[in-house]
Amino acid sequence: MNDEPQRKRVLGPEEIRRALTRIAHEILESGHGPDDLVLLGIPHRGVPLAERLGEQVLRAEGVDADAEALTALVGSVDITLYRDDLRGNPTRVPGPTRIPPGGIDGRTIVLVDDVLFSGRTVRAALDALSAIGRPAAVRLAVLVDRGHRELPIRADHVGKNLPTSGSERVHVQLSESDGQDAVDIVRPAAEQERS
């Protein structure tokens, strides 16, 4: 009997880079240049993804992706106080929300996260956003959409649609926090024995 979960690599560094490049171009093609655009990463892995998307957007527009330009385009939104799964037992300490200097009022916001699953994280981000200001529009960009939605939320920009079973996990690793870029499907050992 094997107690180790089975891992299957579905995206490597080059596939992740290409997916983010495509998403950046989709954002620009939908009419949102960097002047009226704000990319807000949802911690933890949504923040470095938003920064990478910001670099891609700026490069595609012929703008130097220096620290000043990125600060004007990219931020983060902490959702800890808006999560519905922490109400009874809040174990996370709220982190910083970082909004670019131009604010969010009247601008197009693209929320960025690594995996879209139930939709509850995005709902919490929308609640947090409404407490900060009133954007002209809110879009959603995710590296992976794995389905299994519990709320009526759909991503506008998806790197990879990845159908999974409810018991499987999607494990995203990014070089900024994990030392490598990879997306794996992790299948529990108990499920392997049944198949």
Range of the domain at 152: 13-165
CA–CA gap between residue 53 and residue 3 (Å, rounded): 38
Sign of dihedral through CA atoms 171, 112, 46, 67? Answer: positive
The greatest distance separating any two alpha carbons of the chain, rounded to the nearest whole angstrom, comes to 57
Q: What is the reported pLDDT for 2?
A: 63
Model confidence pLDDT, tens digit, residues 17-57: 999 999 999 999 998 788 899 999 999 999 999 999 999 99
38 located within any domain: yes
Q: What pTM does this model have?
A: 0.92
85 located within any domain: yes
Amino acid symbol at 76: S
- The proportion of the chain whose per-residue pLDDT surpasses 90, expressed as a percent, equals 83
Bridge-based pairing of strands 6-11 and 74-76 is unpaired
Q: How confident is the model at residue 88 (pLDDT cuts 50, 70, 90)?
A: low
71 located within any domain: yes
189 located within any domain: no
DSSP 170: E
The number of folded domains in the chain is: 1
184 located within any domain: no
How far, in whole angstroms, is CA 26 from its chain's centroid? Answer: 15
Element (DSSP H or E) covering residue 141: strand 137-145
- The proportion of the chain whose per-residue pLDDT surpasses 70, expressed as a percent, equals 92
Listed in sequence order, the residues at least 6 apart from 169 whose beta carbon sits closer than 8 Å to its beta carbon are 185, 186
Model confidence pLDDT, tens digit, residues 134-169: 999 999 999 999 999 999 999 999 999 999 998 999
How far, in whole angstroms, is CA 84 from its chain's centroid? Answer: 19
56 located within any domain: yes
DSSP 37: E
Three-state SS for 66-125 is CHHHHHHHEEECCCHHHCCCCCCCCCCCCCCCECCCCCCCCCEEEEEEEEECCCHHHHHH
CATH at residue 102 = 3.40.50.2020
Q: What is the reported pLDDT for 74?
A: 98
194 located within any domain: no
Q: Give phi and psi for 61, each to the nearest 5.
A: -90, 5
CA–CA gap between residue 164 and residue 170 (Å, rounded): 8
